[in-house]
Amino acid sequence: MHIHYVIHESYEGPGAFVDWAGEREFHQTATHLYRGDKLPENTGFDLLVVLGGPQSPLTTVAECAYFNAEEESRFIGRCIAAGKAVVGVCLGAQLTGQALGADFAHSPEKEIGYYPITLTSDGQKHPLFGHFRLTEIVGHWHSDMPGLLPDSKVIASSEGCPGQIVAYSDIVYGFQCHLEFTPESIPDLIDSAFDDRLLAEKWVQTPEEIRSFDTVAMNRLLYQFLDGLVRRYQKNDLL
């Protein structure tokens, strides 16, 4: 199994995705856009993971020289068309939706920290989320959310954001929330992207609260989802 990551910023890396793939001895490669890497022309991998960042799908190249939203959306679209499994996280979820023709939206509330998401009726019936309880505490760091298509299924929502997890197809998913945060990955994000003015928002925790959260249970939710996604991809076990 070959996992490829698209990483927009040094401080918002794959976190628990790497631990999951390493435990299973999967091959891992990455495009580090902030270093000037170019998106691969060859889509010879099996699973594409597109990570988050401070950009939005509306960010221009003039505003961020190493981020080209249209080019990246086209790349994701090529991967989907080639039958690859795709997991977009945060910005990556929004770009995945855009690649399929669904415009992203602003979330009703900013969410930063660890807050509950709740499975929808579609989520409760979905086989890749059968290990989730009705409500789970997971990571958040966003002000936008992925767009929806007529056949998209919203798997989970929160009080601050109605589109936390979206199933675009049997092997393509958008996670606005962050199940990949770990105690090792979160300090750089706080140091690089947290502003004390955010504390005026309803759904924003303090850096101390964020650093102290135990991510083990949340990371296991991600691992089990990914294990199911890999089995589905390998066996073409479609709904």
Tell me the pLDDT tens digit for each residue of 26-85.
999 999 999 999 999 999 999 999 999 999 999 999 999 999 999 999 999 999 999 999
Per-residue model confidence as pLDDT tens digits over 73-106: 999 999 999 999 999 999 999 999 999 999 999 9
Q: Could you tell me which CATH class the domain 2-235 is placed in?
A: alpha beta
Q: What is the DSSP letter of 208?
A: H
Cα→Cα distances 190→138, 166, 210, Å: 16, 26, 9
- Give the pairing type, strands 165-167 and 172-175: antiparallel
**What is the band of 239 on the pLDDT scale with cuts at 50, 70, 90?**
very low
pTM listed for this prediction: 0.96
Average pLDDT in the chain: 96
Is 77 within 8 Å of 100 (Cβ atoms)?
Answer: yes
Is 88 within 8 Å of 142 (Cβ atoms)?
Answer: no
Question: Which segments of the chain are extended strands (E)?
Answer: 2-7, 27-32, 47-50, 85-89, 105-119, 135-145, 153-157, 165-167, 172-175, 203-204
Average pLDDT, integer, range 5-19: 98
Token pair of 208 as six digits: 């101390």
| Domain positions in the chain | 2-235
